[in-house]
C-alpha cells in the first residue's frame, strides 16, 4: 500500500490529508501482520469476493506479465500467479513486504514507489492496483507512471473504494465509516488511528465518474467501470493506446 499518514500521535484530518510516503510506510508497517484479517472484518467479509471479481476482470494466464502495485501482503497477487501469470507484487511498506514474503515465498515482492516505478517503459501486459491508489500522494501521477510501464494494447485494472450509487444507502454507508468503523478498529487493532485514516481517505475519494476522468487525463483510453456491492467498491479499467 502506497500512501500516507501523520505521525503516531497525530490524528489525520479528513480536510487536510497530507499523503507523505514516509508516513504511510510507517502506518502500514504497524498494521501489516493483521491487515488482511482486519480488512475482511471491516468490509463485512466482502474483500475476498471483490478480489475474485478483480481477478476475473484481469483474466490472468500463462505468458502474461502483471505488475501489482501497492500489493501489500500479496492477497491480490496470489490468484494472478496461481492462474499462471508472472506477477510482481510491489509495495512501499517494508513491513507489508516482509509479511507478504512469509505468506507467499514464491512471489517476487519488490519495494518501490507508485510515483517512481523501478521498471522500464512498456514492460507489463497489465498493471493493477487494489485499495491503494487513494493512498498515493498524486493520483494522476501514479496513473501516468503505471501507463509508462504498460505495453501498448495493455490495460490497467484499478479496484478502489468508491461511492454507493443509491443516496439512502450512501448515507448509511458513510455513517458506518465514520461512526462504526473506528470503534471496531480500536478493539481489534494495535494502531486504530490507521483505520480512522482509511475511513477518512474513502470519504474524500472521487466518485466513479471523477476517477475515470482522472484516469483519462493521465493518458488511459476507453475507461470504464464496474460497481460492486452497490458502489461501495468500483473496478475501473483503462487501456494503453500509445
Beta bridge partners of 124: 150
Residues 92, 1: contact at Cβ < 8 Å? yes
Quickly name the fold that domain 18-239 has. Answer: Rossmann fold (3.40.50)
- Helix, strand and coil content of the chain, in percent to the nearest 5, comes to 45, 20, 35
Residues 4, 135: contact at Cβ < 8 Å? yes
Per-residue pLDDT of the chain (242 residues; tens, 9 = 90+): 433 322 233 333 322 244 455 554 455 545 555 566 666 655 667 888 999 999 999 999 999 999 999 998 999 999 999 999 999 999 988 888 999 999 999 999 999 999 999 999 999 999 999 999 988 989 999 999 999 999 999 999 999 999 999 999 998 888 877 777 777 767 766 666 666 777 788 888 999 999 999 999 999 999 999 999 999 999 999 999 98
Domain ranges for the chain, please list them.
Answer: 18-239
Amino acid at each position: 500500500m502506497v500512501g500516507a499518514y501523520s505521525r503516531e500521535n497525530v490524528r489525520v484530518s479528513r480536510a487536510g490529508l497530507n499523503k507523505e510516503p514516509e508516513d504511510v510506510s510507517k502506518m502500514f508497517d504497524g498494521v501489516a501482520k493483521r491487515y488482511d484479517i482486519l480488512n475482511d472484518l471491516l468490509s463485512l467479509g466482502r474483500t475476498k469476493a471483490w478480489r475474485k471479481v478483480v481477478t476475473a476482470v484481469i483474466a490472468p494466464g500463462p505468458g502474461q506479465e502483471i505488475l501489482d502495485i501497492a500489493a501489500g501482503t500479496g492477497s491480490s497477487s496470489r490468484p494472478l500467479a496461481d492462474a499462471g501469470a508472472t506477477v510482481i507484487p510491489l509495495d512501499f511498506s517494508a513491513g507489508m513486504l516482509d509479511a507478504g514474503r512469509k505468506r507467499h515465498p514464491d512471489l517476487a515482492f519488490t519495494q518501490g514507489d507508485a510515483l517512481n516505478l523501478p521498471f522500464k517503459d512498456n514492460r507489463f501486459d497489465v498493471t493493477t492496483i487494489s485499495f491503494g491508489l487513494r493512498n498515493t500522494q498524486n493520483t494522476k501521477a501514479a496513473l501516468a507512471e503505471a501507463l509508462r510501464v504498460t505495453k501498448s494494447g495493455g490495460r490497467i485494472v484499478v479496484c478502489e473504494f468508491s461511492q454507493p450509487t443509491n443516496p439512502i444507502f450512501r448515507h448509511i454507508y458513510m455513517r458506518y465509516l465514520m461512526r462504526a468503523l473506528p470503534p471496531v478498529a480500536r478493539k481489534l487493532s494495535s494502531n486504530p488511528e490507521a483505520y480512522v485514516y482509511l475511513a477518512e481517505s474513502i470519504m474524500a475519494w472521487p466518485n466513479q465518474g471523477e476517477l475515470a476522468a482522472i484516469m483519462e487525463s493521465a493518458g488511459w483510453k476507453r475507461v470504464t467501470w464496474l460497481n460492486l456491492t452497490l458502489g461501495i467498491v468500483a473496478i475501473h479499467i483503462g487501456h494503453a493506446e500509445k
